[in-house]
Chains A and B, each alone.
Chain A
Amino acid sequence: MSNGQNERREMTGAEMVVQALKDNGVKHIFGYPGGAVLPIYDELFQQDDVEHILVRHEQGAGHAAEGYARSTGKAGVMLVTSGPGATNAVTPLQDALMDSIPLVCITGQVPTSLIGSDAFQECDTVGITRPCTKHNWLVKDVNDLSAIIHEAFHVATTGRPGPVVVDIPKDVQFAKGTYVSPQTAPRTSYKPRVQGDLGQIKAAVELMAKAKKPILYTGGGVVNSGPEASHLLRELVDLTGFPITSTLMGLGCYPASGKSWLGMLGMHGTYEANMAMHDCDVMLCIGARFDDRITGRLDAFAPNSKKIHIDVDPSSINKNVHVDIGILGDVATVLEDMVRLWRATVKADKKALHPWWEQIARWRARDSLAFKTNPDVIMPQYAISRLYELTKDRDTYITTEVGQHQMWAAQHFHFDKPNRWMTSGGLGTMGYGLPAALGVQIAHPDALVIDIAGDASIQMCIQEMSAAIQHDAPIKIFILNNQYMGMVRQWQQLLHGNRLSHSYTEAMPDFVKLAEAYGAHGIRCEKPDELDDAIREMITVRKPVIFDCRVANLANCFPMIPSGKAHNEMLLPDEATDEAVANAIDAKGRELV
C-alpha cells in the first residue's frame, strides 16, 4: 500500500500503531508480548516492514532501544504489555530521561472500561511513568491514536530528546477509527528553541577571544545534536586552538586522537582535564549539565573563570553552576553561528595560548592514566588497552555496564567518532550494556559491537544472551571479571574502613559454560600473554561471545577526585597507597557520597 493512500483511512487501533511506526520511519522495535498488546502483535505478524526483536525481559527491550537510538541518532522503539510489562520498562525510561535518549515506549493497557478496577495486569502506567518520561499519553479514543503516536515521536526526538510513553487500552486497539498521517501540526505549547541568541553568541565569542586559559567542556548534547554538531565542534577547536575535554556522555565528539584532546574530566577524568578545568579563565560548556560527578566541590569549581553554557534545555542553564553567558539553543545551530562569528571577527593569535598549553603539557606529563602491568595477572586497564588496540581499525561500537570497568573503558578505550560509545551515565544502570549492545548490533549488523562488562553488572540482564542468539546478533561480552562489585568495594575501601559488606560475589557462574548454555561462544583468559590471541578469537567468531577476562581482583580505578575534594585535589594512581585511600575522604565528605 502506498503512503499516498494513507492520508485518512479507516482502520483498527492496532493497525494504526503499525502504520504510524512505518510512517515515522521505524524499521526495528524491541518488545515482549502479553495479553494487553496481542492485537498489536497480531498486526506485526502480518507485515514485513517493521522488524520486531523479541527480548527476554522488558528492561532489555528498553536498553536495546536506547542502544539503537544512541548509535543511530533515531528514536528507539519498545513495545510492552500492561502491568508488569510497563513497570519493567521504568528503569530504561528513567535511564533515557537522564541521558536524553529519544525512546518511544508503547504499552498495552487493560480495556478502558476496566481501568481503575484493579484488573489483571493493570497498573497506572501514565501515573508511574509520569516522572520518568518527557511526556506520556493514555489513549482513550481510537480517533486520537495516530496523532498521538506521531506527536510522541516528535516530542521524543526534538528539543532535548527523551523517553515518551503511549499507553493504549486493549479495546482501543480493537476499535476502528480514522488514521491521519504525520503532519506538521505541532501543539502550540511545545516549541523547543533551536536558534541561539546572536547577541549572546557574539558576547561569548568576544570573551573567548580574550581568554588566556580557555577550555571547552563538552557533553552528550553534542552527540544528540547530530553529526553536524561534532563536525562544527572540531572546526571550532581548530579555529580557536583551545584545549577540549568531555564528559562521559560526550566521548567521541572530538576525536581522542586529536591534539587538543585532554581526555575525559570529572571524578575519574584525567589529571590534565581536571586541572585545566580548575585553572581556566574562560570555560565554554557545550551540551553538558554540570553534573555532580563532573564538578566535584561546587565552591571550588573553576573558581577564577567566566563561564559560557550552550544548552537546548533552559532549566540546565544556571541549575548547578552560575554561568556568565547562557545560550539557549541547539548545539549544532549555535556552533554554526559561533564558528562564523569567530571567523569574521577574531584575529586568531594562537601564540597567546602557548603558556597555557605549556602548563597543560606539564600536567599531561604526570601521565595520570598510567598503570603497572604485571606478567602474571591481567590488569584491567591493560585488558581495555589491548581491546582498543586490536579493534581500533574496525567498525567498532562499545557499550558498557556500570562500575569500575565502565570508567576504565572510558579512560583507556579511545573514540574518534560520536555515536560509538553507549553507556548509562546519569542513572548508572547496571545491566544496561548487554541489551544496549543487542540494540546497536541490530542497527549495525556488520559492525563489531562489544559490551565491556563487569562480572556483577553482566548478571543483571544476562537473559538477553538468548535474544542475541535468536536474532543472530554477534555481540561480544567482554567481562572484566574481578569477582567483586569493584566500584562498590572501592567506595567501601575509601569510606567504610575496608569493611567489604556484600560486595564479593561468592558464587560466580562459569561464564564459559553459561555462554555455551545459551548457544554462544565462551572464552576464558587468565594470562596477559594469552590475551591478544583470545581477543582475536573473540573478534573472529561470528556469533555472540562471552569473554571471561580474569583480571587483578583488587585493582582500583584511578585517578579519582575523592568525595569532598576539588578538581585540583585528585588522587593519582602513584599516590594511591592504602593509607592515602583510607584517608582520602574526611568524615564530612563521607556523609555526602
Chain B
Amino acid sequence: MNAQLQPTGSAYFIARETEKPETHTLSVLVANEPGVLARVIGLFSGRGYNIESLTVSETEHETHLSRITIVTHGTPHVLQQIKHQLERIVPVHRVVDLTVRAQELGQERPLERELALVKVAGTGTDRVEALRLADAFRAHVVDANTEHFIFQITGKSSKIDQFIAIMRPLGLVEICRTGVAAMNRGHQGM
C-alpha cells in the first residue's frame, strides 16, 4: 500500500494530496548578479519542485535586471509555496504567477511563446514535403543546402510539439528550443 496515499500519520506525516496539480507560468524579476540563476534552480531541486521550462535573459541592462520565466507543475498550495520561497531569495525583486494573474484578468492563460530551431535532412519527396509543411506552420528557413533545412518556428509550445512530431518521419536531425517566454495580455506591466 502506498504510504503517501494513506493517512498513516507520523511525526513525519505525509498528508494525502487532495488538490489537483496544475501547470503555471511564473515570471521572476531578479538582480542580474553572479549565482542568481543557481539560487533559483537550487530552490526548485532542493525543495522538490518541478521545472518544465526555464528561460532567462537580462531584460533591463541599465538596472541590471534579468527576467526568468519558469513553467512549473504543482498543486495550488505548492505553487503558492514556490512563489513565497522565490520571494525569500535576496536578489529576487518580484515574482508573478502569470497564470493566476491571467485568471484574475478574466483570461484563460497568459501569452506564452517559444522559439525552436529544427534541422531536417533528406532528399526527394520528403524534402519537398518538409518544406511544404513548414510553410503551413509559418516556419522560416534560416539555413539550407541540397540535403538539409534548418527551420525557425515560433509559437505556442503545443504548436512546436506538433511541428516536431510531423518532421520526425521526414528526416528530423536536431532540435533546439528556447523554452517559454511569457507575459500577461493587456496594458499593465508585471
Which residues of chain B come closer than 8 Å to A43, judged between CB atoms? none
Complex contact B8–A588 (CB within 8 A): yes
Asked whether A155 is an interface residue with its Cβ less than 8 Å from the other chain, the reply is yes
Q: How far is the CB of A291 from the nearest CB of chain B, in Å?
A: 10
Contact A131-B46, Cβ < 8 Å, known A138-B34, A189-B91, A189-B92: yes
CA distance in complex: A297, B14 (Å): 9
Asked whether B77 is an interface residue with its Cβ less than 8 Å from the other chain, the reply is yes
Which residues of chain A come closer than 8 Å to B87, judged between CB atoms? 314-315
Contact string against B for A residues 124-155, beta-carbon threshold 8 Å, 1 for contact and 0 otherwise: 00110011001110100000000000000001
Complex contact A315–B11 (CB within 8 A): no
Complex contact A126–B13 (CB within 8 A): no
Which residues of chain A come closer than 8 Å to B42, judged between CB atoms? 130-131
Which residues of chain B come closer than 8 Å to A126, judged between CB atoms? 35
Q: How far is the CB of B90 from the nearest CB of chain A, in Å?
A: 4
CA distance in complex: A243, B56 (Å): 51
Contact stretch, chosen from A441-449, A464-472, A559-567: A559-567
Q: How far is the CB of A564 from the nearest CB of chain B, in Å?
A: 4
Complex contact B31–A564 (CB within 8 A): no
Complex contact B90–A563 (CB within 8 A): no
Interface residues on A, range: 35 or more
The number of residue pairs between A and B whose CB atoms lie closer than 8 Å in the complex comes to: 96
The chain A residue with its CB closest to the CB of B80 is A318
The chain B residue with its CB closest to the CB of A321 is B15
Complex contact A563–B11 (CB within 8 A): yes
Q: How far is the CB of B100 from the nearest CB of chain A, in Å?
A: 15
Contact A299-B91, Cβ < 8 Å, known A127-B38, A189-B31: no
* Residues of chain A from 548 to 577 with CB closer than 8 A to chain B in the complex: 561, 563-566
Complex contact A592–B12 (CB within 8 A): yes
CA distance in complex: A315, B85 (Å): 6
Complex contact B88–A313 (CB within 8 A): yes
Which residues of chain B come closer than 8 Å to A592, judged between CB atoms? 3, 8, 10-14
CA distance in complex: A138, B38 (Å): 14
Q: How far is the CB of A390 from the nearest CB of chain B, in Å?
A: 34
Which residues of chain B come closer than 8 Å to A473, judged between CB atoms? none
Asked whether A293 is an interface residue with its Cβ less than 8 Å from the other chain, the reply is yes
Our pick among A313, A314, A564 for the contact of B9 (Cβ within 8 Å) is A564
Our pick among B16, B34, B84, B93 for the contact of A188 (Cβ within 8 Å) is B93
CA distance in complex: A561, B12 (Å): 12
CA distance in complex: A593, B81 (Å): 24
* Residues of chain A from 187 to 224 with CB closer than 8 A to chain B in the complex: 187-190
In the complex, 25 of the A-B residue pairs with CB atoms within 8 angstroms, ordered by the A residue number, are A131-B46, A136-B35, A138-B34, A187-B90, A187-B91, A189-B93, A292-B13, A296-B11, A297-B7, A297-B10, A297-B13, A298-B13, A299-B7, A314-B88, A315-B87, A318-B80, A588-B9, A588-B10, A589-B8, A589-B10, A591-B3, A591-B10, A592-B10, A592-B13, A592-B14
* Interface contacts beyond A135-B91, A564-B11: sample of 7 additional A-B pairs, CB < 8 Å, sorted by A: A130-B35, A189-B91, A296-B11, A297-B7, A299-B13, A317-B84, A319-B81
Interface residues of A (CB under 8 A from B): 126-127, 130-131, 134-136, 138, 155, 187-190, 267, 292-293, 295-300, 313-315, 317-319, 561, 563-566, 586, 588-589, 591-593
